Chain A
């Protein structure tokens, strides 16, 4: 009776020794993700506030000052500069000192008093689309609100339609709530794919892989023995990230932590398979590094981690379905932010499982043809 996992415990023992000897690599692979967490958790705020704004108030009377107060109170604009000519207004924006310029014409108050339409010029630097979008939204709604107030006058009639938006799941629009669940996907990929790819390629470089093939170790014993330690590290990393996310960045976990842990297994499986695939191609650690980065980039840009997938061009939207992180980010955001359950997420888990299986089969084939028989 041939044991298909023969050699597993020997390889596991050896990998554990490697990890212990090479403590630096382990340390860095656990510390770098934490640093990334801190950068994204504390350093980045996607909510746009206090845009530097230049004002040319040619009118200067009470009505115009009230308008400026409303802009200031919106928390969106920071009126840092007041000028007295169109030229200076332009200059402040061209030089990049201000993103928004507001010109209140000399007849603003007069027109309002005579029930005519008073115009206000809003110049917006469109080079950052999210800043520009926010500026347009806020100025338009202030204008609308101001007009309504004047049209309705003192009649005290209620608004015909009263929109009451309510933000679910992330009521304060906190950036960590948005970033950190997605970050777990990227960080896990980082650790597991890199570590497995490296651990196999290192054996290729040293020629020890060649030696192992000539021993009775069975391929499954070898692979599992090599993968399991990194799977454990990946899992530990996940727990660490979740702990920091929950207690340092105060991101509430609305769903089941157990389900999250369970559903992270198919994703870790994908990452490990990817690592093996990379190691079947790469012959040096430098080559493995480049290939691994190649897998990180789509995971960052096309998975919906930073940029919403819904607004992507069709091609990239379809492409995003071929990025494993897409599914895992759906799982993490679903469980952590929305409290989603198994019924909502089983399709993501299935997709990941299929991904992992396909990658593993391709990797095993490549290994047989390009590495063992080469």
Chain B
């Protein structure tokens, strides 16, 4: 296999059991080099377990995984030497200064003094940490802590970085800035494995996967997922209905023929409707019930729609096998 064709992560039929409980149930996926891979799922669905398996902390109960071409079962140490990892609480030592935190992680990765100095300069330049070098990390704001943590995770020039909910509890500006930084680094060939709860962040990923209670129920680019038949059944389309009375409108919309499903999104309703129901007709039907529609337009499904639809489908499949 050539260098180029080798994926950054390849997971095949991963299984992890804790006693009789199966936390990760036969999961397979590939992350190509240079991708920003968004790994999504509700809390407790197995995201952290998968990360622990890929970083060699948890032995696999079944399946195979290789990270940067290294088998995690055979050589977890080498895997850990070549990846970066940033957890959601940023894992900094609050009583150490910015420089001391960087120095510590640099030494952990065995960087020589010269290389450490050079890498620190580069990272400080890239992350803009310059003015804060002698500040205790406890005194940094959330956004700066996050940049420092990312800096610590990439001192040793890893080709793959795991980010576990990197933007939890961070203000929107800092979130935007972090993503800009990720895109820049990704352009330099670094692969990112990111878990997040934010759908807008998922939309920015070049590749997303959704794990639901141990099962992988979606895997692909955001656009390819939107076109899945389960999300967009043949003979249907999605519309956004904007109205001043969303709650009442939702109640009525759900009773109308031709509307398959409807949910509220802020000041509007997202509905999945049959092809034979055209927009003008829908507007009339609502008006008859006393609902004034400000705007009505076709809509591509969001990733949230995708995950909601796939979760419903997965749940009904589970119930079907049980029943």
Q: Which residues in A have some Cβ–Cβ distance to B below 8 Å? A: 2, 6-7, 9-11, 13-14, 17-18, 21-22, 206-208, 210-218, 372-373
Contacts and interface: CB of A to CB of B under 8 A. Distances in A.
B213 to A, nearest CB: 19
Contacts of A11: 108
B55 to A, nearest CB: 5
A10 B104 contact: yes
A14 B104 contact: yes
Given A10-B108, A21-B95, A216-B81, A207 B87 contact: yes
B104 A206 contact: no
Contacts of B162: 214
A2 B77 contact: yes
B77 A18 contact: no
B58 interface: yes
B193 interface: no
Interface in B82-109: 83, 85-96, 100, 103-105, 107-109
A210 B80 contact: no
A19 B80 CA distance: 28
Contact of A13 (B81, B88, B104): B104
Interface of B: 52, 55, 57-58, 77, 80-81, 83, 85-96, 100, 103-105, 107-110, 162
Nearest to B162: A214
A17 B95 CA distance: 8
Contacts of B94: 206
- A-B CB proximity, top 4 nearest: A10-B107, A211-B91, A207-B89, A214-B85
Contact of B108 (A2, A22, A217): A217
Given A18-B93, A22-B95, A216-B109, 15 more contacts: A10-B104, A11-B108, A14-B93, A17-B93, A18-B95, A18-B96, A21-B95, A21-B96, A206-B92, A207-B87, A208-B92, A211-B91, A215-B80, A216-B81, A216-B110
Contact of B107 (A13, A18, A206, A211): A13
A228 to B, nearest CB: 15
Contact of A17 (B52, B58, B88, B96): B96
B17 to A, nearest CB: 12
B91 A210 contact: yes
A212 B100 CA distance: 16
A141 B167 CA distance: 83
A10 B93 CA distance: 13
A373 B18 CA distance: 10
B303 to A, nearest CB: 28
A18 B137 CA distance: 13
B109 A206 contact: no
A236 to B, nearest CB: 21
A211 B92 CA distance: 9
B41 to A, nearest CB: 19
A184 B107 CA distance: 37
Contacts of A10: 104, 107-108
A211 B109 contact: no
Given A10-B104, A372-B57, A373-B58, A211 B95 contact: no
11 contacts: A7-B108, A13-B103, A18-B93, A21-B95, A206-B91, A206-B92, A206-B94, A207-B87, A214-B83, A216-B109, A373-B57
B16 to A, nearest CB: 10
A371 B93 CA distance: 19
Contacts of A18: 93, 95-96
Nearest to B84: A214
A21 B89 CA distance: 21
A211 B85 contact: yes
A10 B103 CA distance: 8
B71 to A, nearest CB: 16
A300 to B, nearest CB: 32
A216 B55 contact: no
Nearest to B56: A214
B128 to A, nearest CB: 22
Contacts of A218: 77
B115 to A, nearest CB: 14
B108 A216 contact: yes
B2 to A, nearest CB: 27
Nearest to A205: B89
Contacts of A211: 85-87, 91
Contacts of B85: 211, 214-215
A7 B55 CA distance: 18
Contacts of B104: 10, 13-14
A155 B302 CA distance: 119
A93 B192 CA distance: 82
A210 B107 contact: no
B65 to A, nearest CB: 15
A233 B104 CA distance: 22
A206 B138 CA distance: 12
